[in-house]
Amino acid sequence: MAPPKTTANPVNMKALYKAKKARKDDFYPTLLIALDGNRAINMLTTQLNHAGVTNYVVQIARGSKDANEALVKDRAQFTKDIENTLKDPDNRLQGLLDYINRNEEVEAIPTGFSNLDKVLDGGLYEGLYGIGAISSLGKTTFALQIADYIAQLDRKSVLYFALEMGTYELMTKSISRITFENAQGEETQAQGTRSLLKGKWKQRYNKAQYANVMQSFKEYGDFYSNVIIHDGSEARPTIYDISETVNSYVARTGNKPVVIIDYLQILKPTNDRGTDKANVTTSVNEMKKLATRYHIPVIVISSFNRLNYNSPVSMEAFKESGDIEYSTDVLIGLQLSGVGQESFDVNEAKKRTPRDVEAIILKNHNGATGDTLHYAYYSMFNKFLDMDDTENYSQQSKPESRTQVDDDGRVFSSNKEYREILEGQTN
Omega before 354 cis (within 30°)?
yes
144 vs 77, more confident? 144
For CATH 3.40.50.300, the residue range(s) in the chain are 114-166+232-396
The per-residue pLDDT for range 251-293, each reduced to its tens digit, is: 999 999 999 999 888 899 888 888 888 888 889 999 999 999 9
Which bin fits 32, alpha (ψ -120 to 50), beta or left (φ > 0)?
A: beta
Range in 30-39, 178-187, 310-319 with the lowest mean pLDDT = 30-39
pLDDT at 307 over 60: yes
Confidence of residue 102 (pLDDT cuts 50, 70, 90): low
Q: How many residues does the chain have?
A: 427
Residue 7: the pLDDT is: 45
Q: Looking at residue 308, what DSSP letter applies?
A: G
Residue 138: the pLDDT is: 92
Confidence of residue 136 (pLDDT cuts 50, 70, 90): confident
Express as a percent the part of the chain with pLDDT over 70. 82
Which bin fits 355, alpha (ψ -120 to 50), beta or left (φ > 0)?
A: beta
pLDDT at 122 over 60: yes
Max avg pLDDT among 71-75, 400-404, 417-421: 71-75
Residue 97: the pLDDT is: 73
Residue 333 contacts residue 356 (beta carbons within 8 Å): no
* Global confidence as pTM: 0.72
Closest of 405, 367, 325 to residue 120, by C-alpha: 367
Single-letter residue type at 141: T
Residue 153: the pLDDT is: 92
Residue 6: the pLDDT is: 42
Residue 4: the pLDDT is: 41
- Burial label, 92 (beta-carbon count in 10 A; 0-12, 13-18, 19+): exposed
Residue 289 contacts residue 308 (beta carbons within 8 Å): no
The per-residue pLDDT for range 29-79, each reduced to its tens digit, is: 777 777 766 677 777 777 787 777 787 877 777 777 777 787 888 888 888
81 vs 26, more confident? 81
Average pLDDT over residues 149-162: 95
SS3 content of the chain, % helix, strand, coil (to 5): 45, 15, 35
Average pLDDT over residues 78-87: 80
Residue 11: the pLDDT is: 43
Residue 397: the pLDDT is: 46
pLDDT at 413 over 90: no
CATH architecture entry for 114-166+232-396? 3-Layer(aba) Sandwich (3.40)
Which residues share a beta bridge with 109?
A: 124
pLDDT at 165 over 80: yes
Q: Looking at residue 315, what DSSP letter applies?
A: H
Range in 18-27, 127-136, 256-265, 274-283 with the lowest mean pLDDT = 18-27
338 vs 223, more confident? 223
Confidence of residue 24 (pLDDT cuts 50, 70, 90): low
- Alpha-carbon span 31 to 177, nearest angstrom: 59
Residue 383 contacts residue 181 (beta carbons within 8 Å): yes
- Alpha-carbon span 174 to 404, nearest angstrom: 17
Q: In the predicted model, what is the mean pLDDT of the chain?
A: 82
Residue-by-residue DSSP string for 353-419: SSEEEEEEEEEETTS----EEEEEEEGGGTEEEETTSHHHHHT---PPP--EE-TT--EESSHHHHH
Residue 414: the pLDDT is: 47
Closest of 387, 402, 330, 412 to residue 155, by C-alpha: 402
Confidence of residue 179 (pLDDT cuts 50, 70, 90): very high
Residue-by-residue DSSP string for 93-152: HHHHHHHHHHHTT---B--S-HHHHHHTTTSB-SEEEEEEE-TTSSHHHHHHHHHHHIII
Average pLDDT over residues 396-408: 50
Residue 411: the pLDDT is: 47
Residue 171 contacts residue 224 (beta carbons within 8 Å): yes
Residues 6+ apart with CB under 8 A from 187: 180, 381
287 vs 10, more confident? 287
27 vs 147, more confident? 147
Confidence of residue 417 (pLDDT cuts 50, 70, 90): low
Residue 60: the pLDDT is: 74
Distances (CA, A) of 302 to 167, 204, 329: 20, 38, 15
Average pLDDT over residues 102-106: 66
